[in-house]
Amino acid sequence: MSFFPRKFLPCLLLGAGLVATSQAAETPREPVAELSTGDAIVLGLIEGLTEFLPVSSTGHLIIATDALGLESEKQLTDKSGQPLWSKAPSKENPTGEPLTLKLAADTYTVIIQVGAIAAVLFLYWRQILTMVAGLLGRSSPGLRLLRNIILATIPVVVLGLPLHGWIDRHLFSVPAVLGALVVGAFVMIWAERWRYAHSGVGLARGDAADLPPRKAVGIGFAQCLALWPGTSRSMVSIVAGYLSGLGPAKAAEFSFLIGLPALSGAALLKAVKSGPAMIEVFGWSHMLLGCAVAAVSALFAVKFLVHFIGRYGLVLFAYYRLLLALGLFLWTYL
C-alpha cells in the first residue's frame, strides 16, 4: 500500500479547515436540536471504522442513532414554536416533509462518509495519479483501472437513484439490518470456502486493472446488493472480487476504490436533498467533527483490513456479524 508524503498532511488539514470555516461563516445557523460532542465522535468513529470493513457501516449507524436517541419523528419547531420543514407544503406536495430529528440524523450519517472518502484518497493517492496518467495516455494500467471503476459504478447509479427514496422510507430500520447481517455472514462463509476450494486453479492472482470489463460490471451489480442497509458494500464487492479472480488484499483495495464514486454520489445526493435541513438541526461544528473523526478512524480501518484479510480472509468478520445480529435481536425484541 502506498502512502501520501506525511509532510503534506498539515497543509491538507489546514486547507480543509479553512474551507470549512469559510463555509460555516457564510451560513451561520443556531442548531435547533442537541447533538452532543460525544454523539458526533461516536457516529464519526463508527462510520470510519465500519465503512470499509465488511460489517455494514449503515447498519451500525442505524443501530447507533437508535441507541443515542436520534430516531424521533416528531416535527421540530423553532424558538417561537413554529414548525420547521425540510420541504414546505406546496401544491405538488400538500403535506410537505416535516423536519425531524430522525431525518437530520439519517442525513448526518451519510454526509460524514466524506471523511472516509478522504481517508482512501489519502492512502491511495498513487493509484489516483496513475488513473489520471491513464486519461492523459501515459499509463495503460491506469486507464484500465479507471475503466473498471467506472464500469463497476454504473449499475449502482442506474439502480440506486430511482430506488433511493424507497430505500430511505422502508429499509432504514433495525429489522432490515438484522436480516442483512445474517444473510451476509453466510455469504462470506460460503465465499471463503469457495475461494479455498479454487485456490489451486489459478484464481486469486489477478490485479483490478486486469479484470475483463464484464467482470468489473459483475462486481458493480454485486455492489447494488448493498443498497439494502446492513448488507455491506465492502462485503459484497470483496466477495464478487473473489469470484472474479482477485485475491483478498486486491479485492479489498478494489472495493475501496470503487467505493469512492459510490460514496461520493450518495453523500452529494443526501447533501442536496436534506443537507440544509441537517445543518439547521445540528449546526456546522458537529458535522465537521464527525467527518474528521471518520477520516482518522477510516485510515486505520483500511490499513487493518488489507493486512488482516490477506492473512485470515472474511470468516472472522462473518462470525462478528452473527454475534452482532444476535445482540441486536435480543436488544430489540427481548
What pLDDT, in 10s, does the model give residues 246-270? 999 999 999 999 999 989 988 998 8
Looking at residue 251, its pLDDT comes to 94
**Domain count for the chain:** 1
| pLDDT level of residue 6 (50, 70, 90 thresholds) | very low
Looking at residue 254, its pLDDT comes to 96
Helices and strands per DSSP (H, E), number in the chain: 13, 2
Q: Is residue 8 part of a domain?
A: no
Q: Does residue 9 contact residue 133 with C-beta atoms inside 8 Å? A: no
Q: Is residue 9 part of a domain?
A: no
Q: Which residues contact 117 (CB under 8 A, 6 or more apart)?
A: 259, 260, 263, 264, 267
Q: Rounded to whole angstroms, how far apart are CA atoms 179 and 189?
A: 16
Q: Is residue 292 part of a domain?
A: yes
Looking at residue 17, its pLDDT comes to 43
Q: What cell was used for 306?
A: 488489507
pLDDT at 150 over 80: yes
Q: Is residue 11 part of a domain?
A: no
Most confident option among 225-229, 271-275, 281-285, 321-325: 321-325
Angle, alpha carbons 270-273-278 (nearest 5°) = 75
pLDDT at 106 over 60: yes
| pLDDT level of residue 7 (50, 70, 90 thresholds) | very low
Picking from 3, 111, 104, 100, the residue whose alpha carbon sits closest to that of residue 47 is 111
Q: What is the mean pLDDT of residues 173-201?
A: 88
Q: Is residue 282 part of a domain?
A: yes
Q: Is residue 39 part of a domain?
A: yes
Q: Rounded to whole angstroms, how far apart are CA atoms 208 and 254?
A: 6
Q: What is the mean pLDDT of residues 30-39?
A: 77
Q: What cell was used for 4?
A: 501520501
Q: Is residue 10 part of a domain?
A: no
Name the percent of the chain lying above pLDDT 70: 88
pLDDT at 33 over 80: no
Q: What cell was used for 155?
A: 449499475
Q: Which amino acid is at 241?
A: G
| Cα-Cα-Cα-Cα dihedral sign, residues 316, 173, 237, 132 | negative
Q: What cell was used for 179?
A: 436480516
Q: Is residue 1 part of a domain?
A: no
Picking from 124, 151, 117, the residue whose alpha carbon sits closest to that of residue 250 is 124
How far CA 153 is from CA of 28, 89, 142, 240, in Å, comes to: 36, 35, 17, 14
Say what the pTM is.
Answer: 0.82
Query: 80 vs 132, which has greater pLDDT?
Result: 132
Domain coverage including residue 60:
31-68+97-333
Q: What cell was used for 279?
A: 445543518
